Amino acid sequence: MAVVTDPYLARSAEIVERCARIDREIAALEAEKADLLGERVQLLLDDVSPGAPAFDAAERSMFAEVSAGLRISRAAASRVLGVGWAMRDRFPQTRSALAAGDISLRHATVIVIAATPIGIHDRDTLAAYEERVVPFAQQEVATRTEAFAKSVAAAVASETVVERHRRAREDRAVTVQDREDGMSLFQLLIPSVLAHAAFDRATALAKQTRMISAATACNGFEGPFAPQEGCELTDDDLRRLTGFETMAEGAGERLPDERTLDQVRADIVTDLLLAAATDRLIENGLDAVRGTVQVTIAATTLAGADDRLAELDGHGPIHPDIARALAGGAERWERLFLDPSGMIVCTDSYAPTERMKKQLRARDQRCRFPGCRLPARRCQIDHTLDHAKGGPTRLDNLSCLCEGHHVLKHPDNASRWRWSAVQKPGGVLEWTSPTGRVYVDTPMPRVQFV
């Protein structure tokens, strides 16, 4: 790490380093606490056998005791007791990593919960699961770990997960919860691939509505907005309005109709539900999916030769029947060639236009700044070494970045605020902050279902 002489940046680095040490100390204490809670569960199991007449009363008393003593809800008490016992009894690698401060309690919790389909008595499979997930968790944020862990669990216990997905789909439902000030929370419980496709379509329609509203107000088109003298859409306006913006930034920005992107999206979904024709209703909505949804499925599964799980990129496994139905309605397919570790080495496509972009999005899956989960399809494609400085337009010099993280390395930034990035073999990005700290982001490996 380079020596930082700027007092502002030097103190910033000291604060981050001290906070990181504190986090490791906290993780060690959380491991001790989880171990004690696991011991409390074992005390119950040693004293009263599950299924015995007194077990339910003893378990309720344990939940109440921990809930009152730690000032947490009964549900939270049940969760921390379960995770503590599981780590103590079934997840030794996770327990050791937490005690060493290599992962946080949040990481440990998602590792344990994501392994639910495997079954607590299948120790060999749990060990194989931990061997893949724990090293990943040591390098990544908990949210990325959760998605990866679900895919690994599905890979090592595929038959169980296929059946769980089949049963879970039967629980799809619509619910309404009344809130304050005349508002209600309207919820859909549907398969993940449909939920993300519906969200993407609502987003695309909302951005189109905002663009039309802005153009109407600025250019005097017929509509509810009066022309504004001297108003003209710039290239930046068009770039922003047609989709090259992050969701968070777009949600806070107001256009001529004074609605945020979130508000327009909510209005569109409401209008579609209340006003759409219902004479073409289909059972599951798959035939209507036309949004950009990236699904990975083995060729043998696509052909119906087996029932390996497929993967909704960045979110985890999906049922093979859903993936096959989506593939049947796709306008084109892309083949992904994986190495034994699950990393993409190349792609091909029937539609060769923008082929490099397709391969980058297949490799990166999301924004390549450490911890960011914005899907690659919503990101900009960046030259790691600026093109203006001779950076080639090659796959090993390109990556997907959301707008918020893209601007961090923009040359217009003063050196005190500007980040830099170097791309290593395999698409690994090494980011260097203004304080000289280095952060590594590795492309998320794909899990190959067997």
pLDDT at 282 over 50: yes
- Structure confidence by residue, pLDDT tens digits, 394-444: 888 889 999 889 999 888 888 888 999 999 998 999 999 999 899 999 998
> How confident is the model at residue 243, as a pLDDT?
44
Cβ neighbour number for residue 107 with a 10 Å cutoff: 26
- Structure confidence by residue, pLDDT tens digits, 37-91: 999 999 999 999 998 989 999 999 999 999 999 999 999 999 999 999 999 989 9
What pTM value is reported for the model?
0.65
Q: Residue ranges of the domains in the chain?
A: 7-156, 192-262, 355-441
How much of the chain is in helix, strand and coil states, percent to nearest 5?
55, 10, 35
Q: Residue 140: pLDDT band by 50, 70, 90 thresholds?
A: very high
d(CA 265, CA 251): 10
> How confident is the model at residue 335, as a pLDDT?
62
Mean pLDDT value across residues 135-152 = 93
Max avg pLDDT among 37-46, 191-200, 381-390: 37-46
d(CA 447, CA 1): 34
d(CA 419, CA 305): 48
